[in-house]
Amino acid sequence: MSSQEEGAAAAGASPCTDMEVITITIGATVPTGFEHTASEEVKEKIGVDARISKDRGRIYFPITTDKLFQVHRLKSVDNLFVVVEEYDHYQFKESKEETLSELQELASKLPWTNALEVWKLNRAVKKRKAHRKGESSSSSKGPPDHEDKDTTLANTEPMEAPQEESSAEGQTEGSPDTDPAALNSDDAATKARTLKFRVTCNRAGDKHSFSSNDAARDFGGAVQEFFQWKADMTKFDIEVLLNIHNAEMVIGIALTEESLHRRNISHFGPTTLRSTLCYGMLRLCNPQVSDVILDPMCGTGAIPLEGAMEFNSSFYIAGDNNNMAVNRTVNNVCHMQKRRAEKGSTVPGLPIDTVQWDLCSLPVRTSSVDIIITDMPFGKRIGSRKKNWDLYPSCLREMARVCRPGSGKAVLLTQDKKCFVKALSRMGGLWKKLHTVWVNVGGLHAAVYLLKRTGASFGQTPEDVYESRGPVNTQMDNKPDEA
């Protein structure tokens, strides 16, 4: 069989249950900055070493096809694809015409067969998963209209090099919309249906003579000719990915239709954080059994909800001073509980409480919290840069009061780095900065700071004293550590 025939057979005809176990490479997009965290998760859950791509926000790892279902359980990954071919140092020609013609020729030479088998197997895995969830695989189409760009763009915005994304132009079929899941059926008519596809090119680097649009269009045209598939930008069965980062080029087939960060949240706010980023932040602070974990500026509750779902031996307290935010968190928690009950879970409610409070004056005992994890107002959509100069020092001080000296930790996300670093320097040694992860949140260059609460007693230095409340009564507040 020619590779074209094999590829077409893999995509349309051979039953996936007949598939022998093969080893393939999976590519995953992850929140930029959290590539190491994602690799750790892959090692922990799948037992293989992941390679971090030069292209920030991507990791690659090998798996055998019998473990394919496990990749959908990863919590750090946004999108998954199976690698068709990868080139570390692809020699792009200097002229646009030569490069594009080479890309066209490449389409027919690529080893598509295994990747297409995996794509097909993956549909069956997703179908089973959707069936277990009691919903159709197409029922969770995308984010609600009001979802904030912070969450939807976090991985597509340029960081270090200009990056562009483009999908191949293709004719839109007038044919009736067929359920792609039906491709796995043995129905002869379905097998015979021509697959619809699109090519998406993600390109980063300034030394290319072509645009992502050029590459997607010309490579896509050659793929179409080779497989005799139909191009369709919106209702496609197969998405072929052309990821180009400087001289690195990876060709893959998408295994996810929408980012896996879309979980947990049903009531969105103006700055809802993507669950994959929340997961990365939670892993950074390594929650332990019976830890008390506080998100004092919880917004829609994305961080504590992800914690309650994935690190459920700890207890989470979510608070915000805005009553709409508190309501959203309560609704999100209720929604997740309902979903679990519908799935037949007998586990009692999620380990999370929600409170309305002002972070600068928490109704929480001194030294009683193990971990504080929050996404601070950047001063753009929420608050203002000017207000941050007052808010950040008050925040860090109050967090230092409630956090256990010597063992407590804080993981804080902010884009207002200058203000944060200045406020931290004025904390009289209550916090020690252990690590900084640089992340991209909706195209904004932000930082996640991992802080350790030093052993210093709160209220012993002038810097700790609350301007707004007057001196803290250390006699009353500094009770010994109690749970």
Ligand X SMILES: C[S@@+](CC[C@H](N)C(=O)[O-])C[C@H]1O[C@@H](n2cnc3c(N)ncnc32)[C@H](O)[C@@H]1O
User: Alpha carbon of 188 to those of 13, 17, 119, 276, 479: distances in Å?
Assistant: 9, 17, 20, 40, 74
Cα-Cα-Cα-Cα torsion 253, 255, 261, 266, nearest 10 degrees, comes to 130
Q: Does 331 participate in binding ligand X (rule CB under 6 A)?
A: no
**Other CB atoms closer than 10 Å to residue 52's CB: what's the count?**
15
Q: Residue 77 is encoded by which pair of tokens?
A: 């990954």
At residue 230, the 3 state secondary structure works out as strand
User: Alpha carbon of 469 to those of 270, 362, 397, 398, 465: distances in Å?
Assistant: 31, 12, 12, 11, 8
Q: Contact region for ligand X (CB under 6 A) — 66-74, 171-179, 210-218, 266-274?
A: 266-274
At residue 358, the 3 state secondary structure works out as coil
List the x/- string, 268-287, binding to ligand X by CB under 6 A.
-x-xxx--------------
Minimum separation from the CB atom of position 277 to ligand X (A):
9
Number of residues that bind ligand X (CB under 6 A): 22
Q: Which amino acid is at 370?
A: D
Minimum separation from the CB atom of position 366 to ligand X (A):
18
At residue 161, the 3 state secondary structure works out as coil
Q: Does 359 participate in binding ligand X (rule CB under 6 A)?
A: yes
191 or 385: CB nearest ligand X? 385
Minimum separation from the CB atom of position 402 to ligand X (A):
13
- Out of 140, 321, 337, 474, name the contact with ligand X by CB under 6 A: 321
**Residue nearest to ligand X as judged by C-beta position:** 299
99 or 374: CB nearest ligand X? 374
User: How far, in Å, CA of 427 to CA of 13, rounded?
Assistant: 66
148 or 248: CB nearest ligand X? 148
Nearest CA to 393 out of 420, 353, 433 is that of 420
Cα-Cα-Cα-Cα torsion 464, 466, 471, 473, nearest 10 degrees, comes to -80
List the x/- string, 287-316, binding to ligand X by CB under 6 A.
---------xxxxx-xx-------------
Q: Does 33 participate in binding ligand X (rule CB under 6 A)?
A: no
User: Alpha carbon of 246 to those of 126, 171, 256, 469: distances in Å?
Assistant: 33, 30, 25, 55
Minimum separation from the CB atom of position 154 to ligand X (A):
12
Report 371-430 residues binding ligand X (CB under 6 A). Answer: 375, 377, 382-383
30 or 68: CB nearest ligand X? 30
Q: Does 360 participate in binding ligand X (rule CB under 6 A)?
A: yes
Q: Contact region for ligand X (CB under 6 A) — 57-65, 79-87, 205-213, 353-361?
A: 353-361
Q: Contact region for ligand X (CB under 6 A) — 99-107, 213-221, 264-272, 342-350?
A: 264-272
User: How far, in Å, CA of 117 to CA of 84, rounded?
Assistant: 11
Report 158-187 residues binding ligand X (CB under 6 A). Answer: none
For 221-253, letters b (16+ CB in 10 Å) and e give bbbbebbebbbbbeebbbbbbbbbbbebbbbbb
Q: Does 358 participate in binding ligand X (rule CB under 6 A)?
A: yes
**Residues near ligand X (CB under 6 A):** 269, 271-273, 296-300, 302-303, 320-322, 325, 358-360, 375, 377, 382-383
